[in-house]
Structure 1
Amino acid sequence: MLRPEVLILSNRHDYASDYICSQLWEQGIPYLRLNTDDMPEMELCLYPTEPRLEGVVSGLEFCIDSALRSVYFRCPVFLREMPGIALPAHDQMVRSQWASFVRNLTVFQEALWVNHPGKTYLSENKALQLLEARKAGLTVPRSIVTNSTKKVTTEFAGESRVMLKSLDTLLVRQGDVEAFAYAVPWNLSELAKETMSAAPATVQPYFEPKVDWRVTVVGKKLFAVKILKDEKGVSGDWRLEKDRVRFVPSNLPAPVSSACLRLTKQLGLIFGAIDLVEVGGEFVFLEINPTGEWAWLVEQAGLPIDREIAKILRQGEL
């Protein structure tokens, strides 16, 4: 029977977890990966007060108990999927109860969580991120969260353009197509003719020219890259140009690096993917993602993020 020292909570399509599994396998660390989309086919039994989790996965019997050092948590804290049609009552029940089951694995309080679901939930709030980033010593953009077009035009009077951002990851379904919303630049004169009353959004200045940075914090280490297209910064949201940009490993100024590490610690996170923009030599905080993607940086920028995460999971401490 397997007694894993590391538990990975993920889904079958998570590329980042594949990297971590590979690292743990190479180092001979007993681990178990439980994919949430496969759980209905598993046999699982949780004993909350011990705590202990027993189960069978693909014929493999396991027992998770006091030997568990760490948990790599790569699951959404709440469901964001937008099904095209209403799910049958049975399917709704299955999805909600398994999602709760995963959250209830926090009974393993002695294990190191990367990141803990509770801290992940709080840290995904964009307004809280901005407040904590300012406390950590980072420069933050002038920001309002509103559903009032009038407030936007008043607060940003004098600006020609602003950036509109969703408050949470925005997934919508149109027919058979699932759409993902990026940050959208708006001319202020055009926005004045529209209405934002249906839902709130975050509004910030439009930075141009600028250079985007992705900063990945893992424990006490930091990995930073500049994002360049044709050796220049990318206008608007760089994710729309992801196949045409380069990720260049670079060093941040020491005060900015220290502030990024401080922010992650303030939020109670061990891992954080931070987006910054460099404008006129100044680094401005945009957001931090406690479950952000990083696997492509291993391939395209040669950053050993997988090894650093695996090391922390192996040690069970920072």
Structure 2
Amino acid sequence: MNGHPVLVSTEHEDPTADLVIAELNRRRVPVLRLDPGKDLPGIVTLAARFGADGLTGALRVGDRAAELGKVRALYHRRPSPHLPATEDQADRFSAHETRRGLGGVLAALPDCLYLSHPQAIARAEYKPEQLSVAARFGLPVPETLITNDPAVARSFTSGRPTIYKPLHAAPYHVGGEPAGIWAAVVDPVDIDNQVTGCTHLFQEQVPKVFDVRAVVVGDQVFCSLIRAPEGVVDWRSAYRYLTYEAIGCPDSVRSALLLFLSEFGLKFGAFDFAVTADGEWWFLECNPNGQWAWLEHAAQLPITTAIADLLENGESA
């Protein structure tokens, strides 16, 4: 592959990545796409060498190849996890070796812009640290409890509107179909000893009048106001009833978001806020690899262009 390619690491079906790849193709920027969790063994061949000259060698996907020392940017979207083909010990060993080998090489590309670095994304997925960092940079954070103690949970949720939400958006299925675990109001009487089975996140419910998703690409901030029907706690549970409009980001919030990304070493973040009647933006969470494609059309936000600009310019950006 001639020139300095952009690597796109994501699952085989990713309409969001497709938008960015189409824009890069339109600009004649070379792109090499792969799904590390599924393409090796398979169509991926890796030959990476480390020595006095640093990292050299090539990554081949099918009949196309990229020189590892010339990759301008890696768009780390949503690659499949490295799972063993079976529970056989040899298959488990192979999956771990591929994760450390291919994943390690992709994390060590010289002079490469990462959107974002896989290890930075992994760190930023921990919500407790998110809340701590957001508060340190001046963003209002709802009172939050993380516990596996039922008595402590009942005490926290008594006398105040409280929601529960998962600490991690892991794959979840009901009857074999994909499902989501949405934020939901908690009644203290429903808290029992099952809470001891794992840690739970309980959070004071913000009396919001609308939600905002703020998508940050580099130093650009794109915000969409999201209105859900009255009584809906988690807008993600009611997509078909939502309305959107672009909204400006307060200067103090924008500054905090850029500091937040810098703290975690990220180039991208999808932030969720609950906004109250007095105009206060309450930080809820950041998804370091969150979805944004539907907002581009719904709220007329040029996010594809911003991402393509960053990837095209690479480390010079």
1:59 maps onto 2:53 in alignment: no
The SS at the match of 1:11 is: coil
Q: Aligned partners of 2:257, 2:231: CA distance in 1, in Å?
A: 22
What's the TM-score, normalizing by structure 1?
0.88
Alignment length (residue pairs) = 310
1:237 is aligned to 234
8 Å contact from structure 1 (residues 212, 277) kept in 2: yes
Which residue identity is paired with 1:32?
A: L
C-alpha contact 2:44 2:62 (8 A) present in aligned 1: no
| Distance in structure 2 (CA, Å) of the matches to 1:78 and 1:21 | 22
The alpha carbon displacement at 1:224 in A equals 0.3
Q: CA deviation at 1:34?
A: 1.5
Work out whether 1:146 is the aligned partner of 2:150: no
Cα deviations by residue, 1:174-199 (Å, 9 ceiling, x for unpaired): 553444322222122333x5641111
Cα distance in 2 for partners of 1:73, 1:116 equals 7
Structure 2 contact 11–79 (Cα < 8 Å) conserved: no
Equivalent position of 1:24 in the other structure: 24
Question: Which residue, out of 287, 293, 296, partners 1:295?
Answer: 293
Q: Which runs of 5+ in 2 are unaligned?
A: none
Q: Distance in 2 between matches of 1:314 and 1:220?
A: 16
Question: Does 1:218 find its partner at 2:217?
Answer: yes
Task: Report SS of the residue matched to 1:107.
Answer: coil
Match of 2:45 in 1: 44
Q: Map 1:233-272 to 2 at 5 A.
A: 235-272=232-269
Match of 1:74 among 70, 77, 86: 77
Structure 2 contact 157–186 (Cα < 8 Å) conserved: no
Gaps of 5+ in 1: none
Checking the alignment, whether the CA contact within 8 Å between 1:215 and 1:222 is kept in structure 2 is yes
Q: Conserved in 2, the CA contact under 8 Å of 1:214 and 1:224?
A: yes
1:228 aligns with 2:227: yes
Report SS of the residue matched to 2:162.
Answer: strand
What is the CA–CA distance in structure 2 between the aligned matches of 1:169 and 1:33, rounded to whole Å?
25
Query: In the alignment, which residue of structure 1 is the partner of 2:200?
Result: 201
- The Cα offsets for residues 85-123 of structure 1, whole Å up to 9 and x where unpaired, read as 975556545544443344212121321111111111110
Structure 2 distance, partners of 1:157, 1:182, is 21
1:168 Cα offset (Å): 1.4
| Equivalent residues of 1:77, 1:117 under 8 A apart | no
**Does the residue aligned with 1:180 lie in a helix, a strand or coil?**
coil
Q: Distance in 2 between matches of 1:118 and 1:53?
A: 22
Give 1:57's aligned amino acid: V
Is this contact kept in 2: 1:3–1:65, CA < 8 A?
A: no
Question: Secondary structure at 2:281's aligned position in 1?
Answer: strand
Q: Which residue of 2 aligns with 1:182?
A: 182
Distance 1:11 1:207, change over 3 A: same
- SS state of the match for residue 255, structure 1? helix
The answer to whether the 8 A contact 1:164-1:184 is kept is: yes
Identity %: 27
- For the 8 Å contact 1:42–1:55, the answer to whether it is kept is no
C-alpha separation between the residues in 2 aligned to 1:297 and 1:175?
30
Contact 1:162 1:188 in 2 (8 A): no
Segment drifting more, 117-126 vs 103-112: 103-112
Separation in 2 of the partners of 1:63 and 1:260?
A: 34
